[in-house]
Amino acid sequence: MHAEPALRRPSRILTLAAVALPLAVAVADDVRVRRHLHAARRDPLTGLAGRDALLARTAQLARAHRGLLHVLVADVDGLKTVNDTLGHAAGDILIAAVGRRLGPWAQARGGLAARLGGDEFGAVVVLPQAARLREVTALHTLLARPVDHGGQILHDAAGQALHPAVSIGTARATDLPDAADASRLLRGADMAMYRVKTGEEPLGYTATRHDAYTPTVHGRRPGRPGTHLPVA
């Protein structure tokens, strides 16, 4: 057997290195792609983003549009009754309808909508202060339209057209000293929504600094099931 010329051996080493490098790059790219897909994951029922995406978008907009930034939290009232009387499939249709309406509404106002979990939604938008009440009122009307599924209007147990009943609370970045703190704005909007939901405040109520700094219990605002605390 003839020995291979020594000058050819380095080329084989180079060939192996050339193969290994693209593989390493491909693996790194795959990791980046998977991380990107995970970060962009959307709620399968509504197609909306999740809480983390909402907080990131809020922080971004707070830096660029602090004077116009509004965060909203919307809660669907009576979902348990719908689930109990019409079934969970009907409840899912109702939640999906709210998501389909809220998403484009927020996007058209330079923002983002998200499903926070269960029957609760959040949105961040850029709005002139003078238009806030008009916009929130119009959104409330939009979300309360009858629910259509497959070209048919859904009806409740009494035979009436099913309308989502939604409570909406708002927080303005200009009302808070640390407006870049997205979670603080979201907490304020959540507290404002709760005050509207319980009838303590009317539709269009905007969170005060006190609302935004209401203490939480295990990350949940007072008044939520399981906290057993009165609203301060």
At residue 144, what is the residue type? A
Instruction: Work out the angle at residue 80's Cα, subtended by the Cα atoms of residues 77 and 83, and round it to the nearest 5 degrees.
Output: 120
Contact in structure between 65 and 124 (CB atoms under 8 Å): no
Catalytic residue among 119, 148, 156, 181: 119
Strand, coil or helix: 224:
coil
**Chain Cα centroid distance, residue 132:** 19
Q: How far is CA 106 from CA 7, 72, 113, 132, 215, in A?
A: 66, 10, 6, 13, 28
Say whether 119 is catalytic: yes
The helix or strand, by DSSP H or E, that contains position 72, with its residue range, turns out to be: strand 69-77
Q: Where are the alpha helices (DSSP H) in 65-131?
A: 79-86, 88-107
Adjacent-strand bridge partners of 75: 120, 167
Q: Which residues are catalytic?
A: 119
